[in-house]
Amino acid sequence: MNDLICLSHLRWNFVFQRPQHLMTRFAAERRVFFFEEPIFDSSRPQLQIHRDGDVRVVVPHLPAGLGPHDVSTTLTTLLSQMCVQWAISQPICWYYTPMALTFTRTIDASAIVYDCMDELSAFKGAPPELLSLEEELLERADVVFTGGHHLYEHKRGRHPRVHPFPSSVDTAHFATARSMTDEPADQAGIPHPRMGFFGVIDERMDIDLLAAVAAAHPDWHIVMLGPCVKIDESALPRPANIHYLGLKKYEELPAYLAGWDVALLPFAMNESTRFISPTKTPEYLAAGCQVVSTPVRDVVRPYGEEGMVAIASTPQEFGDAIARALQHKDPEWRARVDRYLSTLSWNRTWADMRSLCEDALRRRAGAAQLDISRRLHLAGGDRRSAARPGGPAAPAMGHADV
């Protein structure tokens, strides 16, 4: 079975999300090498490889001060050495970032997968060459997955085999929140009504919305779980009723959700959120939480349209939606949510992706065999045409050579 090298812009020990869910499942059946972006903290180039469960996490450590070309050539060398050391032959190359093409073009891949979970070019600080590298990756890829339906609509005309795989959920894990009573120590003292958010706090967050809701409802308390990246922490609103508790482990999240009256998706409506499909939407619902969200396209459809999530655009509307959620009395809501969640699982998503990967492997192997046959046929023709004029052709000799 082919090994899998996952090229990721997200670190393995960051927020547990789509890459971790999928690679953990792939690693149960084959070797998975999760290749992270480099850290510039070493006197000499080296790879550190450690196991997290069945996944091998590969962290390049490079000297500071290397230019982009030197970084790419150094990573190419390190990756090649890794493949030799670990006897990795014709791996599946699974890309989360097109930027990894700069050091992986020489890999003899058995299949190339582009799991486009976000429109990375719209994110703050995106490298200018990302779009051209994505174009190249789309040309090289055997199959393309997207992190949501809106992103699928955006990408489907650029590759013959694009498949939408919106955010899924480990329902059993988050459903434990419905019966939990013990509070985490850092949340236990925060008064109710209590709203919450978990995830990355970055340029996608509507911090003005949060500030306005907190100011209009000083008796409400907003819990924010997760790391703050790419924005200055000093820019975050810090009234007494917004509480930043930092990054929590995936295993800890249900205990926090159990203590929330309403879960929030307070995303800004900008280019960086145009194509997102927040994984936390079904996770909130699996925990039994009422959810209020800004009108992110892949939340509106299907969650808003099916009456599972309240959608609000302005601070006034957002606050009103929270107030209604606090008084929620729809007896059919949970049954409706659970029926929908029964159609989702990371196991199902992984199995469907795996099947499409196997198709890609077969197609590429078939194309390689066809190419070999064509070249052999042409070589045979060249030998026959080189026979002495007027003399007999020598097919036996040609076939013997083959």
Instruction: Choose among 294, 272, 268, 271: nearest CA to 281.
Output: 294
Taking the C-alpha atoms of residue 290 and residue 260, their distance in angstroms, rounded to an integer, is: 9
Taking only the tens of pLDDT, the chain with its 402 residues reads 999 999 999 999 999 999 999 999 999 999 999 999 999 999 999 999 999 999 999 999 999 999 999 999 999 999 999 999 999 999 999 999 999 999 999 999 999 999 999 999 888 888 999 999 999 999 999 999 999 999 999 999 999 999 999 989 999 999 999 999 999 999 999 999 999 999 999 999 999 999 999 999 999 999 999 999 989 999 999 999 999 999 999 999 999 999 999 999 999 999 999 999 999 999 999 999 999 999 999 999 999 999 999 999 999 999 999 999 999 888 899 999 999 999 999 999 999 999 999 999 999 988 767 766 677 767 766 555 544 444 433 323 232 222
Neighbours of 219 (CB within 10 A): 8
Which run of H or of E encompasses 68?
helix 68-85
Q: Residue 79 corresponds to which amino acid? A: L
Which token pair is 373? 């046959």
Q: Rounded CA gap, 45 and 60, in Å?
A: 7
**Cis-peptide into 302, omega within 30 deg:** yes
The one-character DSSP state at 391 is S
Q: Please, where are the H alpha helices in 100-168?
A: 101-104, 130-140, 149-155
